[in-house]
């Protein structure tokens, strides 16, 4: 029987009520093998980051840590209604997390506990409610390098590890964690923020799954953020290529790394609403769409940096190479770049310390100017009415147009 992989994000398991809803979705699909990937509950990862920063800087963190413990304990008690069982479930996790905060200075070792909390609680509830699930530790299945906070997957070893689950999932469903992996030395790594979608793609690919479904708090993939563009339209189906480009330019519905392994394996990805699970959502697959709807992507908190030569020479390949080298040194991803006769400009995610580094490293060769608190707007498959709608009443600092994409950096 073919396997389905489900991924549930933090919003879909943010409360006891939400977990019950998630369990109902799993039960409705229990007639075939399921692998369920779960994120940390609600904003737990953000709260763990705050605790880690306090601990790392030798500041009191117990009050913030207690809030995390109490949040999970409250949900577990509401779901399981058994104080002894909840204590047996959570006390070892709490003890382990306290040890990590005391002895480890690595971000990943602490932040990963959000997924451990959520999957332990949800697994216990699924078992109590009569669903046959096995809890699996993704830290032992997804092998990565030791590039902490944004680890790369060793696909060969990960394939071997996860493919071992193929027979087991036919007799018991599996629940495991998104976002986290492990090194050959047994240290925990993370796959980048919001990386649970990517985890779903890893499991789906390694298990040769029928599909991956990401359950979200939106009706599917829309052609714009409905909070900004109220007339946003849902796609019923889009291609892997379109979805990959949308994530590259900043669309937040799917993690950017998710599409590639699925496209290579021709595994469809479905984005469906967990609050109305009978709705079909959006399918991402190998479809060809002759007429493409404009997609509008807003990427906020941007900085536009310009490097200008001052000796009346022109910007050349050597100048650009030196600038790109400095950007690479700081692991700065370019969201947009453009050059004129005497300057080279890049739009990047805002980070003042990295901007300061670039000024220090390159100011002997260039005059460096920058503007912060900007927004990068990308219109894929643009038309003039959409450009007019997105440009009205905005100060445009940079504009770029290609065959299919229109981009502006605005204040």
- Give pLDDT tens digits for 349-361: 999 999 999 999 9
Cα–chain center distance at 119: 18
Closest C-alpha to 237, from 220, 212, 251: 220
Q: What is the sign, positive or negative, of the torsion defined by CA atoms of 396, 398, 402, 406?
A: negative
For the beta carbon of residue 167, count every other beta carbon within 10 angstroms.
9
Which of the four pLDDT bands, split at 50, 70 and 90, describes residue 102? confident
Which of the four pLDDT bands, split at 50, 70 and 90, describes residue 395? very high
| Distance separating alpha carbons of residues 341 and 212, to the nearest angstrom | 48
**For range 174-194, the mean pLDDT:** 95
- pLDDT at residue 387, as a whole number: 96
* 6 phi/psi in degrees, rounded to 5: -110, 140
Q: Is it the case that residue 27 has pLDDT exceeding 70?
A: yes
pLDDT above 90 coverage of the chain, percent: 92
DSSP 3-state assignment of 309? coil
Closest C-alpha to 331, from 316, 345, 348: 348
Per DSSP (E only), the strands in 187-276 are 188-190, 211-216, 237-239, 269-273
Rg (CA), the chain: 23
Cβ atoms 160, 184 nearer than 8 A:
no
DSSP 3-state assignment of 301? strand
User: CB neighbours of 363 closer than 8 A, spacing ≥ 6?
Assistant: none
**For range 234-251, the mean pLDDT:** 93
Q: Is it the case that residue 337 has pLDDT exceeding 70?
A: yes
- pLDDT at residue 298, as a whole number: 96
The whole-chain average pLDDT of the chain stands at 95
Residue with tokens 């100017």: 369
Reported pTM: 0.92
Buried-exposed string 65-94: b where 16+ CB fall within 10 A, e elsewhere: beebbebbbebbbebbeeeeebeebbeebb
**For range 215-228, the mean pLDDT:** 93
Cβ atoms 270, 279 nearer than 8 A:
no
- pLDDT at residue 290, as a whole number: 67
Which of the four pLDDT bands, split at 50, 70 and 90, describes residue 181? very high
Separation in Å, CA 4 to CA 18, 236, 242, 305 = 21, 20, 23, 45
| Distance separating alpha carbons of residues 222 and 231, to the nearest angstrom | 10
Q: Is it the case that residue 34 has pLDDT exceeding 90?
A: yes
Q: What is the pLDDT of residues 7-23, one digit of tens each?
A: 999 999 999 999 999 99
Q: Is it the case that residue 270 has pLDDT exceeding 80?
A: yes
């Amino acid at each position: 029987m073919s396997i389905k992989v489900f991924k549930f994000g933090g919003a879909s398991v943010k409360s006891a009520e939400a977990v019950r809803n998630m369990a109902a979705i799993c039960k409705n699909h229990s007639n075939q093998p399921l692998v369920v990937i779960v994120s940390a509950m609600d904003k737990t990862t953000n709260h763990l980051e705050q605790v880690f920063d306090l601990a790392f800087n030798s500041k009191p963190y117990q009050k913030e840590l207690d809030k995390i413990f109490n949040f999970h304990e409250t949900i577990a008690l509401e779901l399981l209604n058994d104080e002894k069982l909840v204590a047996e479930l959570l006390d070892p996790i709490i003890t382990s997390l306290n040890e990590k905060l005391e002895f480890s200075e690595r971000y990943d070792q602490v932040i990963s506990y959000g997924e451990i909390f959520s999957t332990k609680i949800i697994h216990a509830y699924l078992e109590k409610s009569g669903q046959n699930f096995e809890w699996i530790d993704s830290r032992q299945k997804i092998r990565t390098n030791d590039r902490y906070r944004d680890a790369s997957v060793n696909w060969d070893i990960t394939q071997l590890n996860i493919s071992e689950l193929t027979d087991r999932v036919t007799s018991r469903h599996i629940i495991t964690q998104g976002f986290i992996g492990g090194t050959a030395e047994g240290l925990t790594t993370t796959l980048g923020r919001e990386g649970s979608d990517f985890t779903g793609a890893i499991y789906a690919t390694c298990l040769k799954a029928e599909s991956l479904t990401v359950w979200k708090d939106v009706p599917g993939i829309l052609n714009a953020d409905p909070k900004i563009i109220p007339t946003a339209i849902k796609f019923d189906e889009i291609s892997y290529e379109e979805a990959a480009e949308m994530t590259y330019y900043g669309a937040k519905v799917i993690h950017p790394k998710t599409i590639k392994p699925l496209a290579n394996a021709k595994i469809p990805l479905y984005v469906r609403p967990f609050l109305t699970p009978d709705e079909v959502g959006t399918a991402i697959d190998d479809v060809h769409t002759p007429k493409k709807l404009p997609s509008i992507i807003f990427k906020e908190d941007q900085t536009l940096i310009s490097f200008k030569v001052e000796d009346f020479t022109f910007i050349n390949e050597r100048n650009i190479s030196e600038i790109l080298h400095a950007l690479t040194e700081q692991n700065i991803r370019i969201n947009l770049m453009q050059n004129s006769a005497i300057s080279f400009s890049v739009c990047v995610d805002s980070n003042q310390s990295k901007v300061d580094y670039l000024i220090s490293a390159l100011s002997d060769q260039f005059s460096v100017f920058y503007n912060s608190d900007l927004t990068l707007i990308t219109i894929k498959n643009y038309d003039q009415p959409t450009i007019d709608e997105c440009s009205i009443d905005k100060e445009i600092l940079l504009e770029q147009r290609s065959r299919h994409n229109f981009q502006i950096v605005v204040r």
